[in-house]
Amino acid sequence: MSAGVGVNLENLWIRFGDFVAVRDANVNINGGDFFSFLGPSGCGKTTILRSVSGFLDPSEGRVLIGGNDMAGIGPNKRPTALIFQNLALFPLMKVWENITFSMEIKGASAKERRKRADELLDMIALPGQGDKLPSELSGGQKQRVAIARALCAEPDVLLLDEPLSALDLKLRQHMRTELREIQKRVGITFIYITHDQGEALTMSDNIAVMKAGIIDQIGDGKTVYNDPSTAFVASFVGENNVFRGKVKEIRGDEALIATNRSGDLVSRISTANQGKMNVGDEAMMFIRPEALSIAETGTSGDHFVTAKVNHEEFEGNSFNIFTEGDGGKEIKVSIPNLGQTFEDHTGQQITLEYETQNAVAVPAGELATE
């Protein structure tokens, strides 16, 4: 199985009549990477995947796999294999026959196929399961068989379209780890489509965050989470509190934001927007729930927020406080449960504190609804 084949999208546009599904996408995926396209449903993720696999031709631009332009090359001639949501295993074929179906089409003997199936069953941690029917397997096991079947075709690039979405939460979390381990073992390029941020963050080398056909940001998980370049990315990836306002002052890579409800607050400017934000600009500032803590009442300054507590929730690993926020949105504070006693603050005014580097300012923009 060949490793390290990269995929490049150059100025990729995909239109359906007047509707633009993908707008000027430029993506470089390194060979051997686990790369995810993350975004809400209908943002164009699957459309991009279909253009890489050859089921959809670009309206403009190019898809390159291993440096070769794929124009005019159909799905069955591309060095890719695709795993769909529904897995599509053949119900009346045994597991080993399902896995080696691509070899059967090419005329390989039953002995060769069985040997290869056993190798792949070992790789996906299902040794000795080859003689079962798919109906005798659990959801997670079927998932692994679908991966083995795709790998049997020896693709350079494996394409996965929300393959874990039908599984329950615990199994999904377990399969994330499994998938990443399989990818590391085989060493080929994985391109993964998901609307689940947890999946993208835990598995990917790099992530492209999409909204409405546009790629908003490409980066590794930590960058996308800690240093979002747009309001959409900040609000889509993980939980975030938003403060709206205007830039009052620029201090190097920090900004003082005159917020609508919480006074003047200081924040770092996200890396992508440094040098691009000016005094008077509409801005949004984001602070994660875990970056806020309760300060002494009456403390004030440009990194303190005073707010009235609406309600509280105990989540086991954290105490969550919901206070009156900006424009009808509550400010959420997550205090880790370290076994401490925790008094109820409902109805009280409390002061919250944050470190400047844990707040991030971006130009005002569209927030994620999901």
Cβ atoms of 361 and 283 within 8 Å: the answer is: yes
Q: What is the pLDDT of residue 168?
A: 78
> What 3-state class would DSSP assign to 313?
strand
Question: What mean pLDDT is reported for the chain?
Answer: 90
Q: Which two tokens stand for residue 286?
A: 């984001």
pTM passes above 0.75: yes
Q: Which two tokens stand for residue 18?
A: 């007047």
Q: For 246-270, what is each residue's pLDDT tens digit?
A: 999 999 999 999 988 788 999 999 9
Positions of the chain with pLDDT under 70:
1-3, 85-87, 326-328, 370
For β-strands 80-83 and 189-194, DSSP reports them as: unpaired
Long-range CB pairs of 343-346, under 8 A, 24+ apart, other chains included: 344/312, 345/309, 345/312, 345/321, 346/309, 346/310, 346/311, 346/312
> What 3-state class would DSSP assign to 132?
coil
Rounded to 5 degrees, φ, ψ at 46 are -65, -35
Position 278, amino acid: N
DSSP state of 237: S
Q: Which two tokens stand for residue 233?
A: 């990315």
> What 3-state class would DSSP assign to 292?
coil
Cβ atoms of 259 and 265 within 8 Å: the answer is: yes
Cβ atoms of 3 and 32 within 8 Å: the answer is: yes
Cβ atoms of 280 and 363 within 8 Å: the answer is: no
> What CA–CA distances, in Å, run from 261 to 36, 232, 305, 356?
37, 21, 9, 18
Domain annotation for the chain: domains and CATH numbers: 7-226 (3.40.50.300), 239-363 (2.40.50.100)
Distance CA 203, CA 201 (A): 6
Closest CA to 326 of 368, 266, 369, 263: 263
Inter-helix orientation angle 169-186/139-152, to 10° = 20
Q: What is the pLDDT of residue 143?
A: 81
Rounded to 5 degrees, φ, ψ at 320 are -105, 125
